[in-house]
Every structure is written in C-alpha cells, then in structure tokens.
Amino acid sequence: MLLRLTRVAKFYGNRLVIKDVSFEVSAGTVTLLAGPNGAGKSTLLKLMAGLSRPSAGSVEHGAAPDASGDALGYLGHQTFIYPELTAFENLAFWARLHGLAPERCSEEALLAALERMELKRFAFERAGGFSRGMAQRLNLARVLLLSPSLLLLDEPGTGLDTRSMAILHREIAAARDRGAGIVWISHSVAEDLARADRVLAIADKRVVYSGPAADYVPEAVAC
C-alpha cells in the first residue's frame, strides 16, 4: 500500500467539495481518476499529495518499497518553472531542494534527464521561452528525477503536442513498470482507459465507481 484514504471529506469554507472517499493505491498500478469538471478531482489529488488537509477522514502515505526514491511526485497543469532560470538551473534547483544524493543530481544525471525528455539542446536556454509542451516535459523531467514511488498526475496532457504526449505516455508506463503507484486525472478518459489498471470515478461530490478499468463504463457518469 502506497496511499490510503479513509472516509475523506473536504470543505472549502462552507462549501462541500467531496465526501466519503475511501481508496487505496498499490505499487505498480495506474488508477484513472474520472469524473465531470468540477467534481472535485483536483481537490482529491491535492488531498492525496498532502497539499491540502482533509476536513474529515484520513490520508496515509505508506513507505516506499525501496527507500532510494522520493515518496511522492506531483505533476499538475502548472509547470513549477521559474521562467528566468534556464532549464538546467530549474532542474538543478529542484534536485538540490529535494536533497538528492550527489550521483543523482550531478551535471551528467541532470543532462541525461533532459536528454530523455528531448530537451538537452535547450538545457541552457531560459525556460521562460519554452512552448507549453517543452515546459511540461521539463516539469516531467523534474518529477522523474525524484523517481517517486507515488506519482500524482493532474491533467498533465492539457495543451501538449503529440510528441510531448507520446513521451508522457511512455514515462507513465515506465514508472508503472518500475513499481510506482500512479493516480492520473486525464482530460480524455476514454482514450487513456486502456493505459489504466483501475478507475476511481467521482460525480456529485462522491465516489460513483471504484474498480478495475476493464469493467468501467464511461457513459455511466458522462452527464
């Protein structure tokens, strides 16, 4: 178990966003988080990330299977990029902040991570000039550098070109094969269903489906 939510509810002020969510993420699985806009998917992901505290219930993080990796990686539509720094400097900052071991944040390691994202040519250019796809790939490089055991994705594919999208899908699959647990909010559920093992669907502030991806019928909640 990498993550366990028990009867989680969240209020913003007086407004109920989500309630009574119980859910588990285990290693080596991809869970697709589905539901209409405004159903509380992003809120749920922030609760999972520990960025936001549940108003009721509990969120527990399990220990990583191997202690080498960072516990958690979070990839949202916001890129976490400092536009005034170069791609390399951006990556180096996050590596240093997370206190990665020297061999994992050496210049070669960082350049290799950029290479994998096909960004090595732009390593020493200001990240502010990057296109949406490049910026998001840099963001992905940051997350993967941490080699997290739990990977939370909040519509990472929004506005991406096909090449960036392909890289994103490749890395999600690679992370799962490595044994990471992945929770993924996708803007095109029907298309990404094939890439998922499980589905957690929410609508009207509560869970409407939780089970294998194969048995999930998207139309049931598409209202």
Partner 1 sequence: MLSAALAIASKDLRLLLSRGTGLVQALLLGLLLIFVFSLSQRVGEVMGPQGAAAIFWLASAFCQVLIFNTLFAIEEANGARFGLLLAPVPVQAVWLGKGIAGFTLLLCAQAVFLPAAIVFLGQTVSPLWHVGLATVLLADVGIVALGALLGALSQGQAARESLLSIVLFPLLVPVLLAGIRVGAAAFADDIPEGVESWLGLVAAFDALFLGAGIVLFPFVYGGEE
Partner 2 sequence: MQTNRLSPAMPLVGIVAGLALALCQYMIFVYAPVEQTMGIVQKIFYFHMPLAWWSLISFLTVFVASIAFLRTRNWKWDALSGAAAEVGVLFSGLALITGSIWGRHSWGVWWTWDPRLTTTLVMWFVYAGYLVLRTLDLPRERLGTVSAVVGIVAFLDVPLVFLSARLWRSIHPAVFASKGGGLEAEMKTTVIACIVAFGFLWVALTWLRAAQRRMAARIDVLATQTTI
Site of interaction with partner 2 (CB under 8 A): 12-15
Measuring CA to CA, which residue among 141, 195, 183 is closest to residue 27? 183
Could you tell me the smallest distance in angstroms from the CB atom of residue 135 to partner 1?
A: 8
Q: Which of the listed partners (partner 2, partner 1, none) does 14 bind, with a CB threshold of 5 to 8 Å by partner kind?
A: partner 2
Please say which residue, 40 or 181, places its beta carbon nearer to partner 2.
40
User: Which of partner 2, partner 1, none interacts with 15 (beta carbon under 5 to 8 A by kind)?
Assistant: partner 2
Can you say whether the dihedral through the CA atoms of 163, 169, 171, 173 is positive or negative?
negative
With contact defined as beta carbons under 8 Å apart, do 213 and 182 qualify?
no
d(CA 173, CA 28): 10
**Which is nearer to partner 1, 81 or 189 (by Cβ)?**
81
Cβ 83 to partner 1 shortest distance, Å: 7
If contact means CB under 5 to 8 A according to the sort of partner, which of partner 2, partner 1, none does residue 208 touch? none
Residue 99 neighbours by CB distance under 10 Å: 8
- 174 token code pair: 């690679």
The residue among 116 and 205 lying less far from partner 2, judged by its C-beta, is 205
> Please, which residue, 71 or 165, has the CB nearer to partner 1?
71
Task: Point out which residues bind partner 1 (CB under 8 A).
Answer: 46, 49-52, 70-72, 74, 76, 78-85, 89, 93-94, 96-99, 142
Q: CA–CA separation, 187 vs 184, rounded Å?
A: 10
CA distance 34 to 40: 10
